[in-house]
A and B are shown apart, each in its own frame.
Chain A
Amino acid sequence: MEYKISIQNLNLSIGKNKILKDINLNIPKNQVTVILGPSGCGKTTLLKCLNRLIDLEENVNISGNIFLDGEDILHTKSDLPGIRKKMGLLSQRPYPLPMNIYDNIAYGLRINGLHNKHLICESVENHLKQVSLWDEVKDRLKEPASRLSIGQQQRLCLARGLAVEPEIILADEPTSALDPLSSTAIEKKFIELKQDYTLVMVTHILRQARRIADYVVFMYLGEIVEHGTADEFFNHPKQEQTKAYLQGTFN
């Protein structure tokens, strides 16, 4: 198996609270890796370490290494935007930028130095099509993005992330605010996207993990309890905690 991201001995504390303890994990390329676990177990923090959004928090103490294609991305001070650009982020709730639908996608292209109007226009259309939103919004591209439904907004956010051509997609419970139909749309999209991208998704919905995961990581209280391929994890769990979690008797 080929690995895209390699996390080694990652420890993280905020103030006096240890959030992540000795995380060692390899994330396989072109697969959907699902990080499972109860609330507050450090899933989101782990995700934020990958795209260095953790830098925006105060009092963070961090040690260990994260490599992206063999390149250190945790300690480097240079080209943070470049690192983040490689990882599209889809958050729990959609946060459309305060501008119209078209500009929401064009924004990422423009800040990354693309100014050719024709190319921007083309890219906006392609990426809206990629998330199956084009037909719904093609006549209202100049409308504020906030007028879309929340499911549409989340797909817009996905398109916005894809437009800057990342290699990895990080998703933090991307369907938790969505209705079942929109959730299914996002899940389907994820399965399609793994052809070209490496996906890392945080979720606490076990059934969702079963539906789309290729590789599963189970976290509890800042530690990785167990990780393995979906088949191993769901059908032959090794740890007692994992078995309990899968059976719903975990507390």
Chain B
Amino acid sequence: MRFLKNERFLNFFMYLFLGIIIAMPIIIIAGLFYKSESVLHANSLSDLLFSTEWKPFQGKFGFYSYIYSSVLVTMLALLISVPICLLAAIYLTQYAKSVYLKVIQPVIDILAGIPSIIFGVWGILVIVPLISKYLAPFFGIETAGYSILAGAIVLSVMIIPFILNILLEIFKSISKELPQASIALGATKWQTIKYVVLRKAFPGIISSIVFGLSRAFGETIAVLMVVGNVAQIPSNIFQPGYPLPALIANNYGEMLSIPNYDSALMFAALILLVIVLFFNLAARMLISRYETKL
């Protein structure tokens, strides 16, 4: 194994592996792009993205309702989970005794490790009936329960452990002396959290949200089981929707005799990837702009 001690040899391997990691997303994007080329040729980009007309037999693929469902479910899930996570993280790191954190940490890890199919089943057994029997009637709406809201609730529970874990790490990493400096000036605890701790944690909070968003956007099976899978623009959140990952999972390998169908599904995957990428880039920009102000 003498050759392993050779510096140049080791360097070569390090660059090689680094190259593989960098190449991976590029290859995936290029592959998806290549595969979706034929549907891009047959349809205009604006039709693909902004038309709701989904008639595969006529070669018409309008993804708008799918994109709409995806974005709606994800945003709703974040709307539910982010405040919960933020408040929980603030409480656990700033107010609660340290014992609480020790107890809750394994709970979070277990929650993070539950397979998504179980969340899906839980959604069907608990959330869907809850919505159809209680929640929707409360607003005077009739629904079977399989809906955007059901998808969002299941998703939010799934992403809570991930967002919460990151937030806890971020709050724990802020040194105790910083809030103490504020308290020593006569600030109350809440003033200190609002003006000092949250400010310091802001870049990390944005990162955690985008991480949750990326996970939520691509989550397939649990959402697919409860969201209803009807391609439409839902007029309220109690109606079913049809997010992009569910579209791909339900149809890939099924109706490939239809021309351009598999190409269209690849394009759906590409849209998914581009949207997630867009949010990640936007967050990066936001964070780096903010960090110059700290």
A residues at B contact (CB < 8 Å):
51, 53, 56, 58, 81-82, 84-85, 87-89, 91, 93, 95, 97-100, 107-108, 111-112, 144, 146, 157, 160-161, 164
Given contacts A98-B196, A98-B199, A98-B200, contact A161 B184 (CB under 8 A): yes
Q: A79: nearest residue on chain B (CB-CB)?
A: B186
Query: Is B199's CB under 8 angstroms from A51's CB?
Result: no
Q: How far is the CA of A144 from the CA of B292 in the complex (A)?
A: 7
Can you list 8 pairs linking A and B with CB atoms under 8 Å apart? A53-B183, A81-B183, A95-B180, A97-B199, A98-B178, A100-B293, A111-B195, A164-B186
Q: How far is the CA of A145 from the CA of B178 in the complex (A)?
A: 13
Which 10 pairs between the two chains have the least Cβ-Cβ distance? A85-B186, A89-B184, A108-B185, A81-B186, A98-B200, A95-B181, A111-B187, A98-B199, A95-B178, A95-B177
Query: Is A91's CB under 8 angstroms from B181's CB?
Result: yes
Chain B residues near A108 (CB-CB < 8 A) = 185-187
Interface size on B, residues (CB 8 A): 23
Chain B residues near A160 (CB-CB < 8 A) = 181, 185
Q: How far is the CA of A104 from the CA of B224 in the complex (A)?
A: 50
Chain A residues near B184 (CB-CB < 8 A) = 51, 53, 84, 87-89, 161
Inter-chain residue pair count (beta carbon < 8 A): 76
Q: A91: nearest residue on chain B (CB-CB)?
A: B177
Query: Is A85's CB under 8 angstroms from B181's CB?
Result: no
Q: How far is the CA of A108 from the CA of B180 in the complex (A)?
A: 13
B98 within 8 A of A: yes
Q: How far is the CA of A164 from the CA of B185 in the complex (A)?
A: 7
Query: Is B177's CB under 8 angstroms from A81's CB?
Result: no
Most chain B C-beta atoms within 10 Å of own C-beta, residue among A81, A112, A157, A164: A81
CB distance from B29 to the nearest CB of A (A): 36
Within 8 A of A (CB), among B273-294: 292-294
Chain A residues near B177 (CB-CB < 8 A) = 91, 93, 95
Given contacts A56-B180, A89-B181, A111-B191, contact A95 B175 (CB under 8 A): yes
Chain A residues near B178 (CB-CB < 8 A) = 95, 97-98
Q: Per a CB cutoff under 8 Å, which of A84, A97, A164 touches B196?
A: A97
Q: Per a CB cutoff under 8 Å, which of A81, A87, A99, A146 touches B187?
A: A81
Query: Is A107's CB under 8 angstroms from B175's CB?
Result: no
CB distance from B88 to the nearest CB of A (A): 19
Q: B192: nearest residue on chain A (CB-CB)?
A: A111
B51 within 8 A of A: no
Q: Per a CB cutoff under 8 Å, which of A56, A85, A98, A146 touches B185?
A: A85
Q: A110: nearest residue on chain B (CB-CB)?
A: B195
Q: How far is the CA of A85 from the CA of B186 in the complex (A)?
A: 4
B182 within 8 A of A: yes
Query: Is B294's CB under 8 angstroms from A98's CB?
Result: yes
Q: How far is the CA of A89 from the CA of B178 in the complex (A)?
A: 12
- Residues 177-213 of chain B: 1 if any A CB is under 8 Å from the residue's CB, otherwise 0? 1101111111110010001100110000000000000
Query: Is B195's CB under 8 angstroms from A84's CB?
Result: no
- Residues 209-227 of chain B: 1 if any A CB is under 8 Å from the residue's CB, otherwise 0? 0000000000000000000
Q: How far is the CA of A16 from the CA of B227 in the complex (A)?
A: 56
CB distance from B130 to the nearest CB of A (A): 39
B97 within 8 A of A: yes
CB distance from A218 to the nearest CB of B (A): 25
Q: How far is the CA of A88 from the CA of B182 in the complex (A)?
A: 11
Chain B residues near A144 (CB-CB < 8 A) = 292-294
Most chain B C-beta atoms within 10 Å of own C-beta, residue among A51, A87, A95, A160: A95
Q: How far is the CA of A84 from the CA of B176 in the complex (A)?
A: 17
Chain A residues near B191 (CB-CB < 8 A) = 111
Chain A residues near B294 (CB-CB < 8 A) = 98-99, 144, 146
Given contacts A58-B97, A144-B294, contact A97 B188 (CB under 8 A): no
CB distance from A57 to the nearest CB of B (A): 10
Q: How far is the CA of A100 from the CA of B293 in the complex (A)?
A: 7
Q: How far is the CA of A53 from the CA of B189 in the complex (A)?
A: 11
Q: How far is the CA of A164 from the CA of B182 in the complex (A)?
A: 11
Query: Is A97's CB under 8 angstroms from B181's CB?
Result: yes
Chain B residues near A81 (CB-CB < 8 A) = 183, 186-188
Q: How far is the CA of A150 from the CA of B292 in the complex (A)?
A: 18
